[in-house]
Amino acid sequence: VSFSYPISEVEVLGFDLGFTHTELSAGLGSVQEIIASPVLFEGIDKYVITPANGNAFNGPVVDSVLGNIENLRDDQLGRNSELGFVDKYGDTFDNFTITGNWFRNTLNRGQLPTAGFLNSLGVELTLPGSDLEYARINYNGQFYWPITQNQEWVFSLRTTLGFGLGYGNTEQLPFFNNFFAGGLIASGVVRGFEENSLGPQSTAGARYLTQSNISLLKDDQGNIARNEDGSAVGFSNEYGYQTTNVIDENGNVVLDKNGLPEVKLAVENFYLDKDYDSFGGNILTTATFELLFPLPFVDDTGRVRSAFFVDVGNVFSSTCTERQKRLSNCTNFDAGELRYSAGLSVTYLSPFGPLTLYLAQPFGKDGDDTKTFDFSVGQGF
Same domain, 197 and 214: no
Summarize the confidence of residues 206-230 as an average pLDDT. 89
Same domain, 194 and 284: yes
Q: How confident is the model at residue 50 (pLDDT cuts 50, 70, 90)?
A: confident
- What SS3 class is residue 88? helix
pLDDT in tens, 139-162: 999 999 999 999 999 999 999 999
Q: Is 357 left (phi over 0), alpha (psi -120 to 50) or beta?
A: beta
User: Which DSSP category does 372 fall into?
Assistant: S
Q: End-to-end distance of the chain based on CA atoms, in angstroms?
A: 31
Residue 93 belongs to some domain of the structure = no
Residue 162 belongs to some domain of the structure = yes
| Positive/negative CA dihedral, 75, 80, 81, 85 | negative
Q: How confident is the model at residue 348 (pLDDT cuts 50, 70, 90)?
A: very high
Quick one: which of 354, 344, 343 has its CA closest to 295?
Answer: 344
Same domain, 197 and 287: yes
Look at residue 381 in the predicted model and tell me its pLDDT. Answer: 56
Residue 307: C-alpha distances to residues 57, 114, 117, 200 (Å):
79, 12, 18, 30
Integer Cα distance of 26 and 33 in angstroms: 11
Summarize the confidence of residues 209-225 as an average pLDDT. 90
Same domain, 54 and 119: no
Q: Which helix (H) or strand (E) holds 142?
A: strand 134-146
Question: What's the chain's average pLDDT?
Answer: 92
Same domain, 290 and 233: no
Look at residue 274 in the predicted model and tell me its pLDDT. Answer: 56
Q: How confident is the model at residue 335 (pLDDT cuts 50, 70, 90)?
A: very high
Asked whether the beta carbons of 140 and 160 are under 8 A apart, the reply is: yes
Q: Is it the case that residue 24 has pLDDT exceeding 90? A: yes
- Asked if the peptide bond before residue 38 counts as cis, ω within 30 degrees of 0, the response is yes
User: Which DSSP category does 176 fall into?
Assistant: G
Same domain, 288 and 346: yes
Look at residue 55 in the predicted model and tell me its pLDDT. Answer: 83
Q: What percent of the chain has pLDDT over 90?
A: 67
Question: Looking at this protein, which amino acid is placed at residue 312?
Answer: V
- Could you tell me how many helices (H) and strands (E) the chain has, helices first? 3, 19
**Residue-range definition of the domain harbouring residue 248:** 46-77+210-265
**Number of Cα atoms under 13 Å in the Cβ half of residue 112:** 25
Look at residue 275 in the predicted model and tell me its pLDDT. Answer: 63
Q: Is it the case that residue 75 has pLDDT exceeding 90? A: no
Q: Which helix (H) or strand (E) holds 92?
A: strand 92-105
CA angle 74, 78, 82 (to 5 degrees): 80
Same domain, 363 and 238: no
- Structurally, the chain folds into a number of domains equal to 2
Phi, psi of 51 (to 5 degrees): -75, 160
